[in-house]
Amino acid sequence: MSRAVRKAVIPVAGFGTRVLPATKVIPKEMLPVYDRPALQYVVDEALAAGIEHFIFITGRNKGAIEDYFDHAYELEDALAQKNKTALLDTLNTLRPEAGTCSFVRQQAPKGLGHAIWCARDLVGDDPFAVMLPDMIMDGATPCLKGMVDSYGETGGNMVSVEAVPQEDVSKYGVIKPGADKGVLLEMLGMVEKPPVDQAPSNLMISGRYILESEIMALLGDQPPGAGGEIQLTDSMETLLKTRPFHAYKFEGVTYDTGSPQGYLEAFAAMALKADASTSEAVLSGLLKGDRRV
């Protein structure tokens, strides 16, 4: 049987250039999506999948992320003195248990593959998840939970995929599919941003991975690829030659909060989901120009 997936690597060192100037001094992962940072939705998804250890790959000027997952003594004391117990309970619920978060610095922007490699000592010999924090994935079954459940039956390596319009395949990494196994597809290969007429499918890799620890050695030897960076997909393609890969067909909606449009869509969707009746009234009023809501 495959070992359980208990660790998640979350790369949060990026500059967030697609949403400047908002991210000049605020990490993009900490931008609020309705009532909580975008990163909290990713962590909640991981917790639903049974993740016990979070490994954040950070960079300079990302201290707000580490602070968010710690006590805020002055704030908590003020809430307690004012008997704002509901808010205090919310903060206590969202704060991870001591010792479950690790923070590793990626000292230079050398790509996603390099960021994952920075977690090698904390990952050790265990299988691990990779979760891109830009992606808020909303479905009846949390994406990573569905992947972990399927991984328990197949082992190997896995990525989440979603169908995109054929004319958009050149924007994404897409897979070459093999046998259809229901919720899973056998993976025969992957291509980064292929020309529309050369794409092996319209199934994009959507930001969730389960990988075997063997990929760390490959990343350590991986030369720079596209953009002069160490690309995770390059090492995945090498690993695919000797180890099984599957694609998990996520049924839900993915919001790319790293883009202005995706961020706006995620904000509206999470607001409606959090409190449908109140949020619909507020959004309806705003759309009608009623500034009293």
> Using CA atoms, how far apart are residues 85 and 76, in angstroms rounded to an integer?
10
- Chain segment 40-76, per-residue pLDDT in tens: 999 999 999 999 999 999 998 889 999 999 998 899 9
Whether 126 shows a pLDDT value over 70: the answer reads yes
The confidence score (pLDDT) of residue 293 equals 44
Whether 157 shows a pLDDT value over 90: the answer reads yes
Helix (H) or strand (E) holding 8: strand 7-11
Task: Supply 17's token pair.
Answer: 């250039």
Residue of 22, 14, 101 whose CA lies nearest to 61: 14
DSSP 8-state secondary structure symbol assigned to residue 158: E
Whether 283 shows a pLDDT value over 80: the answer reads no
Q: Which residues contact 65 (CB under 8 A, 6 or more apart)?
A: 12, 27, 29, 30, 39, 56, 58, 103
Count of CA atoms in the C-beta half-sphere (13 A) of 264: 4
In this prediction, residue 204 has a pLDDT band, given cuts at 50, 70 and 90, of very high
Radius of gyration of the chain (CA): 20
pTM value is 0.88
Which of the two residues, 3 and 129, has the higher pLDDT score? 129
First-last CA distance in the chain: 55
Whether 1 shows a pLDDT value over 60: the answer reads no
CB 65 within 8 A of CB 56: yes
Percent of the chain with pLDDT over 70: 93
Whether 26 shows a pLDDT value over 70: the answer reads yes
Residue of 26, 255, 240 whose CA lies nearest to 132: 255
Which of the two residues, 110 and 115, has the higher pLDDT score? 115
In this prediction, residue 3 has a pLDDT band, given cuts at 50, 70 and 90, of confident
Going by their DSSP bridges, the two strands 32-33 and 36-37 should be labelled as antiparallel
The confidence score (pLDDT) of residue 108 equals 84
Q: Which long-range contacts (CB under 8 A, 24 or more apart) does 230-233 make?
A: 230/110, 230/111, 230/112, 230/113, 230/114, 230/117, 231/111, 231/112, 231/113, 231/192, 232/111, 232/112, 232/113, 232/116, 232/130, 233/113, 233/173, 233/190, 233/192, 233/205
CB 28 within 8 A of CB 19: yes
Q: How far is CA 35 from the centre of its chain?
A: 18
> Using CA atoms, how far apart are residues 131 and 265, in angstroms rounded to an integer?
20
Mean pLDDT of 221-248: 88
Whether 154 shows a pLDDT value over 70: the answer reads yes
Which of the two residues, 191 and 84, has the higher pLDDT score? 84
